[in-house]
Amino acid sequence: MNAPTAARTLRVGLISDTHGLLRPQAQTALAGSDCILHAGDIGGPEILDRLADIAPVTAVRGNNDIGPWARRLPDTVTVRLGALTALMVHDLADLPDLTGAGVVVCGHSHRPRVERRNGFLLVNPGSAGPRRFRLPVSVGRLHIQADGRCEAELVPLDMA
């Protein structure tokens, strides 16, 4: 008799506010992701291309993403991640309806945070691009179990 195999955890890389700068530390932190969600202010299509070398990418347009390449990106997107539904938007204020979301991923503020709120998990991976003020430079990860349970992790990038 064979022992049952454990269900695999889905690993989702989270990044936002690259503003045209994809640091090697961010690429290293996102390596091994099953997919990557970019929550806007990308800075150019080459950032998405380089992320796609790591894993499939889903992205939304940020307030600083302009030009023909950016017009092809949605303002919001719903992504099915295993047994979990994720909503993604650049600025949380632009997401009017959070119904049905297990996870909401946003950017814009450059402030990393993980918070449980009204039945969903809110994650802002912070800014992975140019440092702004004294805010940390970071990315995030979601670890999603087969039954939909989800944990989020913020990953500060070593800037030494």
Asked if 16 and 124 touch (Cβ cutoff 8 Å), the reply is yes
Q: What pTM was computed for the model?
A: 0.93
Q: What is the CATH number of the domain that holds 58?
A: 3.60.21.10
User: Residue 3 domain-assigned?
Assistant: no
Residue 95 has pLDDT above 80, yes or no: no
- pLDDT above 70 covers a percentage of the chain that reads 93
Residue 1 has pLDDT above 80, yes or no: no
User: Residue 5 domain-assigned?
Assistant: no
Sequence-distant (6+) residues with CB within 8 A of 40 are 16, 17, 59, 60, 61, 62, 63, 65, 89, 90, 91, 107, 108
Q: Which residue segment(s) compose the domain that 133 sits in?
A: 10-156
Q: Please tell me the predicted confidence (pLDDT) of residue 160.
A: 58
Q: How many helices (H) and strands (E) does the chain have?
A: 3, 10
User: Residue 1 domain-assigned?
Assistant: no
Place of tokens 């993980």: 114
CA distances from 121 to 19, 29, 47, 150 (A): 25, 21, 26, 8
Looking at the 3D structure of the chain, how many domains does it have?
A: 1
Asked if 115 and 152 touch (Cβ cutoff 8 Å), the reply is no
User: Residue 32 domain-assigned?
Assistant: yes
User: Residue 2 domain-assigned?
Assistant: no
